[in-house]
Structure 1
Amino acid sequence: MTAQFNVQIGSFRKINKIPNAWSNKDYLQLMAIMGLNDGLDDMEESELREMCMMSLNDLEATEAAKIVLTHLFTELAEGKIDQLSNDMIGDRMWEEYSDCLLHEGFFSAYALLREAFNGVFAEPTGVEFTVNVTATDADDLSIFDQSLHASMVRLLASGLSSDVLLHRLFEDQITGTQFPEATGILWQLESVTSEGLSRQFKMVSSDFWFGQLANIEMFEASAHADESDEEE
């Protein structure tokens, strides 16, 4: 079922880090990988973070990148981690890596490493924005309950020009029945309010995908859910 909507872009801002992307648990695990986990359990959060950043800075930039990627991507082989840690300097992996499901992790890795090294690594470019979605029929809103990420990426794609990378790389998924990559495109997505035929959503993604929306106020859109009833 293809549903029709009016979409209004609400707040829109560029970000270079995702709030609360790194927790005390993350810092402790990073320190453990570096072999520096003695006597840290009772340390204040700010002190633990500062010590972790200093410990990363004591390493060569590529070695620090390897520590961070080892923590983030347990599914990747050591050899792949070695390659990526070298490629990170000079590259923009949160945009360029072939598997977009890892882009959010790369984004947060760059944010942390750039701060630890006062530069060296590229500054990640992301966007945080809200959209107000109004349906003509209440039943149309059910697509967001069936497959939220896939439906929202398709919706937002309607507001972008046909030559953007999102269309060129994922047109089959946008028009098709399965979009497993959607969670790698919209990193964070939540429904904020729901009233009548309207819903407001808040999301975080890469400027790479949705930067063009900064210049758009409103558009008409069509979207549909994945065939599966389960969220990707």
Structure 2
Amino acid sequence: MQVTFSVQIDSFKKISKIPNAWSDEDYRALLSIMDFEDDVEKMDAAELREMCMMSLNDLGPADAAKAVMTHLFPELAEGKIDQVSHDMVDDRSWEEYADCLLHERFFNAYGLLREAFNGIFANPTGVELALTVTAGHAEDMAIFDESLHSSIVRLLANGQGDDALINRLYEDQIKGTHFPEAPGLVWQLKQVADEGTTRQFCLVSSYFWMENFEQVESFEAEAHADVEE
């Protein structure tokens, strides 16, 4: 069932990295991939990060990208990693890679590589978005309990024009009852307040999908939950 909601954009902030995207364990794993021989277990967080950045820089852009890809994408074949890593300097994979479910990891990869090489790689542009959603009845909010990601993505897509890229690429999923790609379009999502007919959400996504909200204060749009098969 389609429900119409009023949406208030509380904040819109561009970001080039996601806080805490890289942990000490990630840095240790990367150093291992790069055959770093010192005892990384004895390094503190700052040393780990600095050594990882230096080691990536020593490899050069393509090989550094391959090391990062090898760590972040264990499901990809080595040949695919070789191909993508050689193209990353010129591509914007966090927007362009065919499987959107991998976009957040690409975003994190570009953030790390760009810092390691003081540029060279494209600057990834993401968005932290906070919004307040209001419905006519508290029971209308049930769609967010049933399938949060899908419902929020449909709401944000329907808040943009029909010519918006998200609507052109995912029209069937937005209008349909199953949206497995939704977590690839809104990467991080949490509900921060629930006051019956009003809820507040914070999310992280790509500017690629959300740029239309940069100058928007509020809108009305419909959304619905997925339907379990």
Give the alignment's TM-score, normalised by structure 1.
Answer: 0.97
Does residue 115 in structure 1 map to residue 115 in structure 2?
Answer: yes
C-alpha separation in 1, matches of 2:42 and 2:190: 34
Please tell me the root mean square deviation across aligned C-alpha atoms, in Å.
0.9
Residue 142 of structure 1: aligned partner? 142
SS of aligned partner of 1:28: helix
Whether the 8 Å CA contact 1:28–1:37 is kept in 2: the answer is no
C-alpha separation in 2, matches of 1:46 and 1:147: 39
4+ aligned runs moved over 6 Å, structure 1: none
Whether the 8 Å CA contact 1:177–1:227 is kept in 2: the answer is yes
Report the CA distance between 1:137 and its aligned residue. Answer: 1.1
Residue 170 of structure 1: aligned partner? 170
Deviations 1:5-44 (A, max 9, x none): 1100011110001111000010000001111154111211
- Flag the 1:37–1:25 CA change in 2: closer, same or farther, 3 A: farther
Residue 203 of structure 2: aligned partner? 203
Q: Which consecutive residues of structure 1, in runs of 5 or more, have no partner in the other structure?
A: none
Residue 187 of structure 1: aligned partner? 187
Residue 83 of structure 2: aligned partner? 83
**Count of residues in Structure 1 that have an aligned counterpart in Structure 2:** 229
C-alpha separation in 1, matches of 2:6 and 2:107: 31
C-alpha separation in 2, matches of 1:214 and 1:16: 16
Deviations 1:58-84 (A, max 9, x none): 002100000000000000000000000
Whether the 8 Å CA contact 1:9–1:130 is kept in 2: the answer is yes
Alignment of 1:9-48 (within 5 A): 9-36=9-36, 38-48=38-48
C-alpha separation in 2, matches of 1:212 and 1:75: 33
SS of aligned partner of 1:108: helix
